[in-house]
């Protein structure tokens, strides 16, 4: 699913996008969105119509790893959930672990999948934090072309939770439980992680399910809180 950024350049609209603005009307006043552009961004009509102008592709990204440091660890799995859409996912193959290639093939696929998006939403995952720096480190290590500066935008939902709410802890699980959002059905289990490091397929699939749950709950929480903060264009 596509959503627009905070604004778009009217001089760069396609003909079909201009027609869309002149043939769709705002709910508040009944005027065309071409004559009431502010209503376009307030009412978010694009959420039910991907043909709206000025849209961007948004995904919710999360990874699971064998270690908190990318120098000692590698990535078990990643999930990127399309806004209101499917999940792009990859779990490391036991054979890649046993051959010593670890997350090389995983990172190749990730760098292809991430280019399907304009904006990525993470939780504690932007620069100076975890997911994106970890992914970049593993890609560079394997000699894989990771998205460069300004290739896409990253938003960290943690920033909204910390700045706009007052919870006893700012973890994703805490926020989701407080707002009755399903999360963490497959909780962290050291035994599962240890078996996964040895290439146990069942354990790797358990971790992938844990990974899926995180991106699904992140999307639900983002929808609940996004109106309380802007979406700064922080580069990947």
Domain co-membership, 43 together with 136: no
Q: What is the pLDDT of residues 154-168, one digit of tens each?
A: 999 999 999 999 999
Q: Which domain holds residue 108?
A: 57-228
Domain co-membership, 205 together with 97: yes
| Predicted local confidence at residue 18, as pLDDT | 87
Query: CA-CA distance, 28 to 152, in Å (whole number)?
Result: 33
Asked if residue 224 is part of any domain, the answer here is yes
Domain co-membership, 99 together with 209: yes
Query: CA-CA distance, 212 to 78, in Å (whole number)?
Result: 8
Domain co-membership, 169 together with 78: yes
Q: What is the pLDDT of residues 1-41, one digit of tens each?
A: 455 555 666 766 778 888 889 999 999 999 998 898 888 88
Domain co-membership, 93 together with 178: yes
Structure tokens at 65: 């790893």
Other residues' Cβ atoms within 10 Å of the Cβ of residue 230: 10
Domain co-membership, 13 together with 129: no
Domain co-membership, 88 together with 136: yes
Asked if residue 215 is part of any domain, the answer here is yes
Domain co-membership, 41 together with 69: no
Domain co-membership, 189 together with 82: yes
| Predicted local confidence at residue 187, as pLDDT | 81
**Count of the separate structural domains present in the chain:** 2
Asked if residue 73 is part of any domain, the answer here is yes
Per the model's pLDDT, the better-predicted residue between 52 and 203 turns out to be 203
Q: What is the pLDDT of residues 55-88, one digit of tens each?
A: 778 999 999 999 999 999 999 999 999 998 999 9
Domain co-membership, 83 together with 42: no
Domain co-membership, 182 together with 217: yes
Structure tokens at 13: 């609209």
Contacts 24+ apart (CB under 8 A), 67-71: 68/130, 70/133, 70/134, 70/137, 70/138, 70/141, 71/137
Percent of the chain with pLDDT over 70: 94
pTM here is 0.83
């Amino acid at each position: 699913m596509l959503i627009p950024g905070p604004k778009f350049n009217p001089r760069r609209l396609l003909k079909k996008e201009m027609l869309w603005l002149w043939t769709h009307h705002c709910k508040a006043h009944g005027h065309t969105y071409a004559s009431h552009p502010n209503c376009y961004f307030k009412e978010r009509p694009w959420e039910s119509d991907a043909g709206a102008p000025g849209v961007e592709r948004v995904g919710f990204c999360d990874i699971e790893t064998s270690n908190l440091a990318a120098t000692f660890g590698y990535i078990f799995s990643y999930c990127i959930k399309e806004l209101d859409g499917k999940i792009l996912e990859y779990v490391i193959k036991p054979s890649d672990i046993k051959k010593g290639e670890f997350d090389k093939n995983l990172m190749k696929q990730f760098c292809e999948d991430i280019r399907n998006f304009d904006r990525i939403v993470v939780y504690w995952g932007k620069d100076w934090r975890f997911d994106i720096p970890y992914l970049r480190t593993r890609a560079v290590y394997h000699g894989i072309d990771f998205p460069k500066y300004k290739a896409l935008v990253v938003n960290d939902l943690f920033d909204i939770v910390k700045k706009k709410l007052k919870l006893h802890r700012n973890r994703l699980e805490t926020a989701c439980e407080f707002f009755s959002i399903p999360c963490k059905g497959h909780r962290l289990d050291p035994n599962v992680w240890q078996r996964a490091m040895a290439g146990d397929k069942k354990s790797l699939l358990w971790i992938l399910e844990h990974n899926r749950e995180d991106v699904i709950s992140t999307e639900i929480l983002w929808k609940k809180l996004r109106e309380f903060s802007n979406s700064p264009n922080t580069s990947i």
